[in-house]
């Protein structure tokens, strides 16, 4: 049986063949399309490393079946910068030293973008922390992350 989904990924419409109906968006991005910026941490919805925007909403790509989202619009970390110009959130993360190993960073940035798009960020650090509580950072870079998101929210 041949299965396929049509998705707009980082502004490009593409059709992807699936060899298994259980393929998640995370595995489709990383293994089929080589978009490895989206990270696989826990693979069970607990760390936020795989956060992407799906039709403008934050989701954990490890929990989303690709087949269930035919026609969807997906934005990943690779879709943020415009040429050499970083997205303001990316620039703010650098300016605030908001990372150490960087593994959680794509998920943090995509989650922050979703939070800002939802109008849920504002410049209240507590609100930002709460809004991004699903994104874990094993390096404990929370202070810089919060500062960066607050700055980018302004």
By CB under 6 A, residue 149 contacts ligand FES = no
Stretch that binds ligand FES, among 7-15, 40-48, 68-76, 124-132 (CB under 6 A): 40-48
Question: Strand, helix or coil at 23?
Answer: coil
Using the minimum distance from each CB to ligand FES, give the nearer residue, 106 or 119.
106
Q: Which residue has the tokens 């929990």?
A: 63
By CB under 6 A, residue 21 contacts ligand FES = no
- The residue within the footprint of ligand FES, chosen from 37, 48, 79, 144 (CB under 6 A), is 48
How many helices (H) and strands (E) are present in the chain, helices listed first?
5, 5
List Cβ neighbours of 58 (8 Å cut-off, separation of 6 or more). Answer: 51, 52, 110, 111, 114, 115
**Distance between CA atoms of residues 29 and 34, nearest Å:** 6
* DSSP 8-state class, residue 41: S
By CB under 6 A, residue 41 contacts ligand FES = yes
By CB under 6 A, residue 25 contacts ligand FES = no
For residue 142, the minimal CB distance to ligand FES (Å) is 9
Residue count, binding to ligand FES (CB under 6 A): 23
Question: Strand, helix or coil at 109?
Answer: helix
**Distance between CA atoms of residues 101 and 35, nearest Å:** 19
Binding mask 87-126 for ligand FES (x = CB under 6 A): ------------xxxxxxx---------------------
Q: What does the binding site for ligand FES look like in residue numbers (CB under 6 A)?
A: 40-43, 45-50, 60, 62, 99-105, 137-139, 141
């Amino acid at each position: 049986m041949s299965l396929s989904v049509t998705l707009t990924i980082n502004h490009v419409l593409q059709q992807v063949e699936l060899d298994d109906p259980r393929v998640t968006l995370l595995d489709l991005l990383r293994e089929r399309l080589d978009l490895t910026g989206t990270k696989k941490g826990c693979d069970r919805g607990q760390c936020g490393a795989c956060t992407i925007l799906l039709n403008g909403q934050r989701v954990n790509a490890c929990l989303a079946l690709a087949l269930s989202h035919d026609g969807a619009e997906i934005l990943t970390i690779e879709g943020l910068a415009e040429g050499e110009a970083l997205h303001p959130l990316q620039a703010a993360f650098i300016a605030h030293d908001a990372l150490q190993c960087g593994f959680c960073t794509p998920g943090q940035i995509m989650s922050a973008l979703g939070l800002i798009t939802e109008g849920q960020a504002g410049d209240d650090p507590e609100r930002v922390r709460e809004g991004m509580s699903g994104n874990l950072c094993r390096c404990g870079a929370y202070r810089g992350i919060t500062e960066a998101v607050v700055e980018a929210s302004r």
